[in-house]
Structure 1
Amino acid sequence: MARLLASFVFIVLVACGVPEDAKKPDIPGLEQEILALGDFVSREEAARVARISYEYSLQLRSEYQVSDPPLIHNTKVNQGLRSRGLCWHWADDLESRLRAENLQTLSLHRAIANTDNLRIEHSTVILSERGEPMQSGVVLDPWRYGGYLFWAPMVEDTRYNWKPRSQVFRDRRN
């Protein structure tokens, strides 16, 4: 039984590891993805948001004292060993930082996944062209790889079924 438990823990920890390519910032790639959101997206804003998203995620990694995969770090936060670093902390902080930029051609959305199943809930920020729905946007997820920014078009992020945070909160009240 102990051997089975040890094997399970090993598999979980390996599965939580950060892919090597995620550790290499791709600011130009994110900038191009942001520009592809629509014809009215400012080149300057796309470049600024791409740079800030990567740099601020790494800054938060340092501030949160992340030294483990996200689920292990969550455990440390929940045990009081770290003060911040749950997914919603990352999302709140990244959203606040990007809102401080007073974006004119881009909109920020908050989303939550796994609200209706046994998996752990997850929160993130989604960026879209101003006025467009989050479904047409790009997921900016600094938690997923422990401060190494994950990004992808929302429709391609099949790991999570994102819902607008406001809808999730409304559903919980009912």
Structure 2
Amino acid sequence: MKSLIAPLMMLAAAVLTGCASAPTATRTDVEALSLAIQSLDPQVDADEARRAAEIAYSHSARLAEQYNVTTSPIIHNTLVNSGVKERGICVHYAEDMQARLNQENFQTLTMLRAIAEPKSDFRIDHSTAVIAAKGDGIYEGIVIDPWRYGGKLYWSETREDPRYDWEPRLKVLRRKYERRMAKEAAEG
């Protein structure tokens, strides 16, 4: 029975979503993100902002291709979690985007990670990368979220994201650890 689940899910995904087209970005998209990055702080170098914006868009599309994303992000998550696909959940996008941007050794920008815990029991944590001016935290930065639309980059100021309440990654992980320890202590 288990061997039938994955093929049936893939067939349902194909019927419901069709084949996903490769994410594309226009020069206007890249320029808008570049200007947003530059506006983070007067010290942000314009060339670094432009390069970060170009990489954010191009690497988002590249990751979707590498992960072989052909369905909606939620269905792709199910395929990864069931072992049909290797990578492509939000934490993979966040790790890979942060790593790629860090390769640039920006002097006026920093790459951070954020997590949004679910607002209801029917949702799961969501991870993303954040670009901020050197020395700033996630709340002063810009969310770089290639997972949300399956490789088509979504970005916004961290506090302006209408869908997620972002927090620093380590703060969320520490809170989850403390909850787990408290639960184990209460049970045992």
Judge same fold: TM > 0.5, yes or no. yes
Q: Read off the aligned partner of 1:100 and give its amino acid letter.
A: Q
Q: Does 1:72 align with 2:79?
A: no
TM-score by length of 1: 0.85
Give the Cα–Cα distance (whole angstroms) in 2 for the partners of residues 45 and 74 of structure 1: 32
Q: Report the equivalent of 1:30.
A: 33
Q: Read off the aligned partner of 1:144 and give its amino acid letter.
A: R
SS of the counterpart of 2:107?
coil
Q: Report the equivalent of 1:92.
A: 95
Query: Which of residues 136, 161, 164 is equivalent to 2:140?
Result: 136
Q: Report the equivalent of 1:3.
A: none
Point out where structure 1 has 5 or more consecutive residues left out of the alignment: 1-8
Q: Read off the aligned partner of 1:64 and give its amino acid letter.
A: Y
The one-character-per-residue Cα deviations of 1:1-60 (angstroms, maximum 9, x if unpaired) are xxxxxxxx9xxx78xxx9xxx854410110000001010000110010000010011111
Contact 1:115 1:168 in 2 (8 A): no
Q: Read off the aligned partner of 1:113 and give its amino acid letter.
A: A
SS of the counterpart of 1:81?
coil
Q: Does 1:107 align with 2:113?
A: no
Point out where structure 2 has 5 or more consecutive residues left out of the alignment: 1-11, 179-188
The runs of at least 4 aligned residues of structure 1 exceeding 4 Å deviation read none
Give the Cα–Cα distance (whole angstroms) in 1 for the partners of residues 125 and 142 of structure 2: 19
Q: Report the equivalent of 1:40.
A: 43
The one-character-per-residue Cα deviations of 1:73-121 (angstroms, maximum 9, x if unpaired) are 1011111111000000000000000111111101111110025642211
Contact 2:25 2:57 in 1 (8 A): no
Give the Cα–Cα distance (whole angstroms) in 2 for the partners of residues 76 and 40 of structure 1: 43
Give the Cα–Cα distance (whole angstroms) in 1 for the partners of residues 116 and 131 of structure 2: 16
SS of the counterpart of 1:149?
strand
Q: Read off the aligned partner of 2:163 and give its amino acid letter.
A: R
Q: Read off the aligned partner of 2:151 and give its amino acid letter.
A: G
Give the Cα–Cα distance (whole angstroms) in 2 for the partners of residues 117 and 107 of structure 1: 31
TM-score by length of 2: 0.79
Contact 2:159 2:165 in 1 (8 A): no
Task: Give the aligned CA root-mean-square deviation in angstroms.
Answer: 2.1
Deviation of the 1:124 alpha carbon: 0.2
> Larger radius of gyration, structure 1 or 2?
2
Q: Does 1:127 align with 2:131?
A: yes
Deviation of the 1:62 alpha carbon: 0.5
Give the Cα–Cα distance (whole angstroms) in 2 for the partners of residues 149 and 29 of structure 1: 12
